[in-house]
Structures are given as structure tokens and as C-alpha cells.
Amino acid sequence: MTRTYATLGTDGLLASAQRPPALAKLTAQTIQITQTTIAHGLSGTPSVVIICPRGVSFVYESQAADGTNVYMTAAGVTTADIYVAL
């Protein structure tokens, strides 16, 4: 599967060509300094994972998403909003 990465424009928005068709927001998640496993509830493996930390900690996808979960790790315990799409 090819992963798609997008960057925000100067207006803080994704260009329409970069927007996934059905972006689902997972409930706010507490991300730990060890890998945190989060069920995404999609019918397949997400091709898009967007992480929006609510704090100042660095959050990253520590393992590629699969058909059931996304995997996140943070530099310090923090809360993040996670968006996924097929």
C-alpha cells in the first residue's frame, strides 16, 4: 500500500486534492511514552493517519497501521486527536 503524506498550506488547510474522501476522527486518545495501540474501527487498513497533539509533546506513528489498529508513541504522555481514512 502506498502511504500518502500531506502538508498544510499557508492558510492552515489541506488542498482539496489532498483531502481523503471519508476522514473519521477517533475519540481523543492519551498517548504514552511506550507504544499505545488504538482501535480505528475501519473496514480495512487506513491509507491516511493524521495526528493532532493537544499538548506540546511530540507524537508519532510508531508502527504502520493495520486492519484493526493504529500505533502511536509520544515523547511525554499527552492527549491527541487522531483522524483516519481508507
Residue 81 lies in a domain: yes
In terms of phi and psi (left: phi > 0; alpha: psi -120 to 50; beta: otherwise), the region of 41 is: left
Whether the per-residue pLDDT at 21 is higher than 80: the answer is no
pLDDT at 4 over 90: no
13 pLDDT more than 70: no
Residue 9: is its pLDDT beyond 70? Answer: no
Q: Mean of the per-residue pLDDT values for the chain?
A: 84
Residues of the chain with pLDDT > 90: what percent? 50
Residue in 79, 61, 78, 59 with CA at minimum distance from that of residue 70 = 61
Q: Residue 60, SS3?
A: strand
Domain count of the chain?
Answer: 1
Residue 14 maps to a domain: no
Say what the pLDDT of residue 28 is.
Answer: 86
In this prediction the pTM is: 0.75
Is residue 6 included in any domain, yes or no?
no
Which domain covers residue 59, as residue numbers? 22-85
In a domain, 15, yes or no: no
- The answer to the question of residue 66 being in a domain is yes
Residue 56 has pLDDT above 90, yes or no: no
